[in-house]
């Protein structure tokens, strides 16, 4: 575990509005310098929407409806668009989910990386291109002098993802948001990309928000984990605690639905647990949104939003029933 130092991002009661519905509600978490915080949960839990809110890149139909996100003593929600443009890419970098759709197909990768450097670092065209070559080398793309002149379609999926990482870290940001950075990559390339991000985190003293639904990734690379369900935080702990003693029924369901190696037990012999229902049913305005899918639910679960309790130091859970039963 990396040593705990000062917070560089402090999110408090963040809510995102989408017409009459709030897909993210009262979300709070913090990120410390040099730390990797994982946001986990199934599709639709609000992980990517939270990242877009932090970058102030929400779609037009969505808005920040409440709360604050304090980054280096500045509330991101209150910055003007001109101020926020200076933050994006310079202080906060982001790796988007799909590099093929995030990269411009008609510009070379060198042109796209150098644009970041010219805007935020004030480099001229020649210096920016030279630095782009260095960044491609930093993210371990072979023959960077040649690749810098190629277009996204000429690169493999793994290389395109590395280009996205190079763009995100070009200005040595203090915080990197990695939104499903290994989507559609094979297992070997996934490990290489995650190791690269981890090395950059240490080399650049950079904090990372890692958004993923892969619990294996969480166990290997995260320092802390926030489990989200239907836009709310339901549990928070370090990976070792979360895997050895999950408290929230949803977290237990996620772990039960994920194959894991155990002594003398193969993947083929494991019985996976299915979580009944779907996250699409979690649209109630009050109460625990997981209640319709939970076998521990009581009438009180539907009456009021559950508070985050801390049954053990650093381990928070939004389920009073589990805490009361000591389960």
Domains of the chain, residue spans? 7-91+173-325, 101-168
Secondary structure percentages of the chain, helix, strand, coil, to 5: 40, 25, 40
| Pick from 32, 16, 30, 19: nearest CA to 67 | 16
Model pLDDT for residues 160-180, shown as the tens digit of each residue: 988 999 999 999 899 999 998
Residue bearing tokens 């509330």: 75
- CA–chain centroid gap for 261, Å, is 25
- Give this prediction's pTM: 0.90
φ, ψ of residue 46 in degrees (nearest 5)? 100, 10
Q: In terms of Cα–Cα distance, which of 198, 4, 35, 235 is closest to 243? A: 235
Alpha carbon 67 to chain centroid, angstroms: 19
Question: Distance of CA 137 to CAs 117, 123, 145, Å?
Answer: 16, 19, 9
Query: Residue 115: exposed, middle, or buried by beta-carbon count in 10 A (0-12, 13-18, 19+)?
Result: middle
Q: CA 156, 131, 94, 207 torsion: positive or negative?
A: positive
- Report, as ranges of residue numbers, the positions in the chain whose pLDDT lies below 50: 1-4, 261-267
Residues 51-110 pLDDT 10s: 999 999 999 999 999 999 999 999 999 999 999 999 998 999 999 887 777 899 999 999
CB 98: neighbour CB atoms within 10 A? 15
C-beta separation of 109 from 164 below 8 A: no
Residue 322 · residue 296 · CB < 8 Å: yes
- Give CA 113 to chain center in angstroms: 22
| β 309-312/315-317 pair status | antiparallel
Alpha-carbon gap, residue 198 to 212, rounded angstroms: 15
The CATH number given to 7-91+173-325 is 3.40.50.300
Q: Which two tokens stand for residue 100?
A: 């093929």
């Amino acid at each position: 575990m990396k040593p705990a130092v000062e917070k560089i991002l402090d999110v408090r009661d963040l809510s995102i509005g989408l017409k009459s519905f709030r897909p993210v509600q009262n979300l709070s978490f913090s990120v410390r310098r040099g730390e990797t915080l994982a946001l986990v949960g199934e599709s639709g839990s609000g992980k990517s929407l939270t990242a877009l809110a932090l970058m102030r890149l929400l779609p037009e139909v969505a808005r920040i409806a409440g709360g604050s996100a304090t980054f280096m003593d500045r509330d991101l929600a209150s910055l003007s668009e001109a101020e926020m443009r200076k933050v994006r890419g310079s202080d906060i970098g982001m790796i988007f989910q799909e590099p093929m759709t995030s990269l411009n197909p008609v510009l070379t990768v060198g042109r796209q990386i150098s644009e970041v450097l010219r805007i935020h670092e004030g480099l001229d065209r020649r210096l920016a291109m030279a630095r782009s070559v260095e960044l491609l080398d930093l993210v371990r793309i072979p023959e960077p002098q040649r690749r810098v002149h190629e277009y996204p379609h000429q690169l493999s999926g793994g290389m395109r993802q590395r280009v996205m990482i190079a763009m995100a870290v070009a200005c040595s940001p203090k915080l990197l948001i990695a939104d499903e950075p290994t989507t559609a990559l094979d297992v070997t390339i996934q490990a290489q990309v995650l190791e690269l991000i981890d090395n950059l985190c240490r080399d650049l003293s950079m904090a990372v928000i890692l958004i993923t639904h892969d619990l294996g990734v969480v166990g290997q690379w995260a320092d802390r984990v926030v489990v989200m369900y239907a836009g709310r935080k339901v549990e928070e702990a370090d990976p070792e605690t979360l895997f050895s003693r999950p408290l929230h029924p949803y977290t237990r369901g996620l772990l039960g639905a994920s194959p894991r190696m155990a002594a003398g037990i193969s993947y083929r012999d494991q019985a996976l647990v299915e979580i009944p229902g779907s996250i699409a049913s979690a649209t109630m305005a009050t109460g625990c949104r997981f209640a319709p899918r939970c076998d521990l639910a009581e009438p009180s679960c539907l009456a009021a939003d559950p508070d985050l309790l801390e049954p053990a130091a650093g381990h928070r859970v939004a389920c009073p029933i589990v805490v009361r039963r000591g389960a």
